[in-house]
Structure 1
Amino acid sequence: MAKLTLVGLGPGSLDLMSLRAQQAILDADVVAGYRPYVDLVRDLIDQQEVIQNGMTREWDRVAAAVVEAKAGRNVVLVCSGDAGMYAMAPLVLELLTEQGWQPEQGPEVEIVPGITAANACASLVGAPLGHDSCTISLSDLLTPWPEIEKRIHAAADADFAITFYNPRSRKRQSHIENAQRILLQYREPTTPVAVVNAAYRDDQQVSLSTLAHFTDLDFGMNAAVIVGNSSSFQYHDWIVTPRGYRNKYQLDDGVTLPGQKRGRALAIDTSEE
């Protein structure tokens, strides 16, 4: 049966791409993708046919990949990060659904996971996503800006650490400043922020700042912006968002605090209520 494999390339370096992802590309008849992403895996391309195009041509790439797979070929569609995170997996499945695709009739579809931009960028600055967190894209090409604003308010109110994707572009400069203004309604100006450009690529750049000042930095579409929650702190070049162990244990010796029990739900002191 023909196969369409959606491959997450991770941040872009081959050593951070899974072996399964690399093997899928090596075994493919056709490799399709956004031109810069195809370039990231040129070392794995030999006899495979290549389908590539530029920005905003996502539908064309997906449609071409589906046509080739339905024609009986083994097709790989490469995506940056993870194929299911702001990438091609949703569009592929939506298109197949529109076409009345029946999995038992083919083509077979497989999704090979990749390291997300949030994970890759966080790894370079410590543990900023150590507790509950979310991702929000600031691109309004497919989502209305008022809806994005609503999500920023909700995430800020819930005290999530937040990773912003697509923070700036040549045509869209103000959205990240608007996000900053919203967050300052909920969090201290000193909240730590990491701006990571092109994680694990040749032009990688990592900057640490604060919620009050991070928009002064120079960054664009290839960057991710990670904003800590109310308990996040910076220590040297690391950002730490505590998981909550201090609420139950003494960190110096691991002894359980009074009123707490190991393996049980966190006991909350209500004596002052």
Structure 2
Amino acid sequence: MNILPLNHIDEISTYILDKNAENKNYVEFIPRTLDEIKLKLTNTFDEQSFYYMEDNQEIVGILGFEKIDTHEVNVWGPIVNDTSDETLNALEEMWKLLLSNHPDVQFCHIALHKDHQLNNSKLKRLHAGYVKTHYTLEIQQPPLAIDEHHQMTPYSKPYYYAFHKLHANSFKDSDISADDIIHTLGDNHALYLYIAEGLVKGYIYSSIQTSEQLATIPYLASHHDYRKQGIAFQMIHYATTEAFKHEDVQTVRIHVDSKKHEQIQLLYEKIGFKIVDETHHFKYVHTY
């Protein structure tokens, strides 16, 4: 088995596309189309940041570092044909080469489907630790009505500063600001606030893609002083119910990061959402 630097981009791109379509090799950071994969390999990677395994002139595995900044990368892979000792040894060698080529990198992010063949124990060979699970959940019909009287209201200008502060505190690293959200509001974008005792204790934002008959909930937050009071449940239930009032919506989708599956059951599945995808996130931290 040979370990080779990036070359033969067309063949590697096709290999990645085919393998990444399988749950046992799915990596979240890899694009979904052949053209996007080729473009990334051409413009983002080089011979120092991407390696592949070859056996009998056939590609049997890949691993790459896509830089986020000087100290952080998203990992393309691991993608391998099998989990034999020979393959795992070659994978470990590629990993060491990448780390050696990038001495300034401190954090490597790995995101694999829950059924990935290198998930959990085998991934320990790269000394990466579990961080969280990323869930995708969907519901195809309005949730059942609840007796609880909701305390939701559509966003309006008097609540600008309270919403702005809550969003900024909840999503400090987000590229989307409170003003960005407000500027989208209209027929296909809605912002609801949870208000009690005259205070904005939470908010939820939904977006509708009419061509896909899909509504998504990209942002929701509750004030840290008022958590574990059922606010998130009310917000998600209300926003989902409202989304299904739109004639084009057939599905509502939400993405959630959590370490505890029980939280998913208590909140989202109680409303009627079902898990349709599950990705496990790991992180390698370089210690000097």
TM range (shorter): under 0.3
| Bigger share in strand | 2
Normalised to the residue count of structure 1, the TM-score between the two structures is: 0.26
**Bigger relative contact order (CA 8 A; separation at least 6):** 2
